Structure 1
Amino acid sequence: MLMLLDLTIRNFAVPPMDVDAAAVAAFERRGKQPLVDLGAYLQGEDNLLDADTVQQQLFPTVHADVFLSHASGDRQQVMQLAVALERLGLTVFVDSCVWGNVYALLQEVDDRFSARGSAPGAYHYHYHRVTRTTASVYMILNAALQRMIDGCELFLYLETDAVRVADYVGDTRYIGSPWVFAELMFARHVARRGRVRPSLEAFKGHAPVQTFDGVARFRTPASSHALEWDVLLRAMADMSNFPPSAYWQDAPVFLDHLYRKLPLSDAEKALLGWR
């Protein structure tokens, strides 16, 4: 566990990055996880959904350098950024990589525990049972996402119009995604830790997602630091001649290069091991 910095990238994905479609497709294929039959998740005499088993299947034990939080509408650009960061020697976790599996699991859970009658494909459910099962599955996902954030060195929130909703009070920023809101709140309050490098195991990819339906809005939690998208692009270009395996003090060179563009506090510099 080594969550160290959280950073907002403003005006992300304007314009799209120069990453070919084949590289993005390969990135996505590596992240696909096989779905386990619902029966494997049910434990005990009452056949209750076991949270630990679900988390272990949807979130294999990995330690990424960067956690990418984003709106589902920015899928293509986010995948391009993940590929570009991978080429700089980083391991990247894209938050939406498990959503497709979660929705599929939720459908199976509702079919088993909440369906009215036995007609296949009827899709009639008991309302109160569905709300309980949905809340349970979403809590499992939220806990797993928090564990992933806590295990990454850098939490990177990609801010675009796709995740914002209209402002009603002055310049206050709001977002329409409850998932992004939850990730930002956790990243804002999680304890910071110094660099203790675990063994790295890549987990990358993306699964089909569903867009937010506009039910609510949330005041956007502020990150500790913020950079414009073009600043991140220039930082990545600076490192284009470095080999992906370039490390300094047992950390990827690119991260330290990026951090030097931020007004870090003495405490943050100490966590980084800077003298």
Structure 2
Amino acid sequence: MPRLLDVSDDVRAEIGDEEADRLLAGDNAPGSYDCTSCRTPGDTQQERTSTVLFVGDETAVLAFAHAACLPSQVVQVNEDQLQGAVQSLGSPGADASAEAPPAQAVLGVTSGLILINGDLHPALVVEPTGPISRPGAQSGGDDFLPLLIEQGFMPLPELAQAPRSLPGWSVLLAMGRLHAVLQPGTGGAPGQVAWWQAHQPLVVTEGWRAAANKTQTVLVFAAPVGSIGRQPREDLLRDALDKAAANGRLVAAAMPLAGT
């Protein structure tokens, strides 16, 4: 049965006319799917659906999205990010949450340009909505920063220089919107999984996206609940970061940009 699929010229060029025609005819397309953007169910027989092709260095994975969420497109990702990224973005029932191993907490994420040593850096600031304790901890304290330090984030006493790169982690953008922060697979598993992923892709400013595309690196800052708050301007965000750093409540890492 024919499907209500959108196959862009770029996707068709990658998969070939024969495969594209089979998809449109319903031969190789699923009836139901989980949208790779918002992760809610979709039906190719009932609603317009976009084909989204994630392309690595050697392999490619075809995913599906509500046409209202994403247009049909090709998304370039690193080969070692491909499987984990697609799996993470396609997980059903996910919310704007993150596993700050090993505890689960809802995180707030703010984007902004941060001036460090005379250079503007695209940055994400992560702050949970409540304390995070280790499983089994009796004190009910907040272990958010120690858990992140164990993952390789570095404490920042001041914002005098950019933090070091954190191997295996990356920030995923698609069509200029923020989708996820990815971390290495657990237990030595290959690929990556989502440490945080947006319930709806987050819009970033043109300036932020241009800076990220130029440097191919995003600085990710994290602080415990109550340290930063939702700041309406970048200068206020920087002031809050400086205060959190001075109080020993800020960790950070540099991560490569995945996607565009």
Query: Normalising by the residue count of structure 2, what TM-score does the alignment of the two structures yield?
Result: 0.24
Higher strand share: 2
Higher helix share: 1
Query: Normalising by the residue count of structure 1, what TM-score does the alignment of the two structures yield?
Result: 0.23
